[in-house]
Chains A and B, each alone.
Chain A
Amino acid sequence: MLCQICGKNPATVHFTEIHDNKMSEIHVCERCAEDKGLHASPKKHKFDIADLLAGMVDNMTTTEEERVGRVQCPRCGLLYSGFKETGRLGCSECYTAFQFQLRPLLRRIHGETRHSVKAKRPTRDGEGASRSRQIQRLHDELQRAVEREEFERAAAVRDEIKRLEREGQTARTGGETAS
């Protein structure tokens, strides 16, 4: 089999990519793999993104594409065209700077565009949030302890949950804010 990029050398590097439940195979020669930054595992998603982006701009005119490419992150200075080349964003601010371009991309990658409300968050938004997360984790631990029939441990965890819940109530009624 010949390389799918240069069509000259034999394809010795093979990738299987899965997106939106569709599997596609890519066969390239070592040189093209090197050129395109294709490596086994950790770096391969670079290619995924370039591939995805290439597919997305198909029906965009050249002028539109150029205009979008010049959108720049005010904080780190990365151009959107730079992101398209590497598949990597420059800083956390890039997510805001490129939000309109990223949204369809995120949808294509994840099938979603918003962080789950049930997912983890940093604790810096206050003691209240930290406490509720701790309670949530203790609930998980309680469940695990019950599954393993470690009832003494389960009782201790339950008491700890009660204590934290009481503490939370006191904090709220005491006028302490959790923002």
Chain B
Amino acid sequence: MSPQHPTTFDELVAAPSRWLSGDGPHADLVLSTRIRLARNLSQVPFTHRAREEQLQGVLLSVSSAAQQAHAFAGALTMRMSELSPVERQVLVERHLVSHELGDATRPRGIVVAPEERVSLMINEEDHLRLQAMTPGFQLAETWGAADSADDELDQSLDFAFSEEIGYLTSCPTNAGTGLRASVLIHLPALVLLDEIQQVLKSIMQVGLNVRGLYGEHSEVMGNLFQISNQTTLGKSERDSIESLERVTRQIIEREERARERMLRDARVQVEDKVWRAYGSLRHARLIAAKEVINLCSAVRLGVALGMPGLPPFHVVNELLVITQPAHLQRFHGGELTPAERNVYRAQLVRERLDTAEHETNERRDQG
């Protein structure tokens, strides 16, 4: 079995998620594209009303359907109950599992295809949540992956569907297509120039949803926003995806124009901000997760602006995930108090950036 085919949880976590790779169209602004489809089996009550043994049955039939599907060739199947709380949280931090699935008191499971391109959450709010993720801005490709994986599962599973309402879901907000298409986009210039509120308002006005990726309150950390479709009934998947695509393109343009203006009017200030952020990440001895997110945002902007000497996108993207509490404890190999976490986090960040610097220097010396 090739190393891309993880057979254990450890192997899965050892490799960075492909959606963090920093490749793909517009990777300087769009971190990743995600498509999620909600499906239920027609003969079983929805997860929260189903009996334990019914959910065991769902777990079994969905995972065996996945085993027959090409989309899930070489996939890793895990029951949530087999995993420790930290391991489950690691999956949440990698965007493979929702907070709801992270709760292992009921028979729940996950199927993850190699490189985390497609994955399945079983017995979440709906019996199945199929997810496809790609780096950069590639809605058509991501939809293609989700659509064909869904077709394959459909060959052996009887999905709850009605001609009138479409795919039937536990919550009526997902009924119809069961589709949630989203892009994770970095908008530091629009935030810095104080134009973000206006942009967010216009996104909502066209019926899309937008929220900050990090930050529990109304504050947004790291200038990272997730834009997604809001409705699932009465529109085809393609229509929903196209409107997200159109709006995202407009936002990309606005952010690019804002970056140009920022550089024209305040180049030194921008460079100073980027390098101070890099300096903090590179040398700090104590660092909180929140601080990493905000500093990474500044460094990411510097990389996008082509400032030489900074680490590549994938390193900055990965820092966002590996510095989260569960990943940190996983790397450390034991529990850490919040104070210890800050020390260990700073050390981990320094090591990663050190490695990245060496790699960059080597490439430069060779080239």
Binding site for B on A (CB under 8 A): 12-14, 16, 18, 21, 23, 25, 39-43, 45-46, 48-49, 75-76, 78, 86-92, 95-96, 102, 105-106, 109-116, 118-124, 133, 137, 140-141, 144
Contacts and interface: CB of A to CB of B under 8 A. Distances in A.
Given A14-B217, A88-B171, A115 B99 contact: no
8 contacts: A21-B207, A23-B204, A41-B99, A102-B172, A106-B172, A116-B234, A120-B237, A133-B151
Interface string B140-161: 1100100110110011001111
B172 A42 contact: no
Given A21-B207, A106-B233, A140-B140, A116 B176 contact: yes
A119 B237 CA distance: 6
A114 B164 contact: yes
Interface stretch (B10-18, B39-47, B284-292, B310-318): B39-47
A95 B233 contact: no
Contacts, number: 154
B76 to A, nearest CB: 23
A162 to B, nearest CB: 20
B56 interface: no
Given A21-B207, A76-B49, A95 B168 contact: yes
Nearest to A17: B209
B243 interface: no
Nearest to B101: A42
Contacts of B170: 88-89
Contacts of A12: 217
What size tier do the contact residues of chain B reach?
35 or more
Interface in B95-146: 98-100, 125, 140-141, 144
Nearest to A83: B172
A18 B158 CA distance: 33
Contacts of A113: 164, 233-234
B287 to A, nearest CB: 23
A86 B217 contact: no
B260 to A, nearest CB: 27
Most interface-central of B100, B125, B171, B218 (chain A CB within 10 A) = B171
B362 interface: no
B218 A25 contact: yes
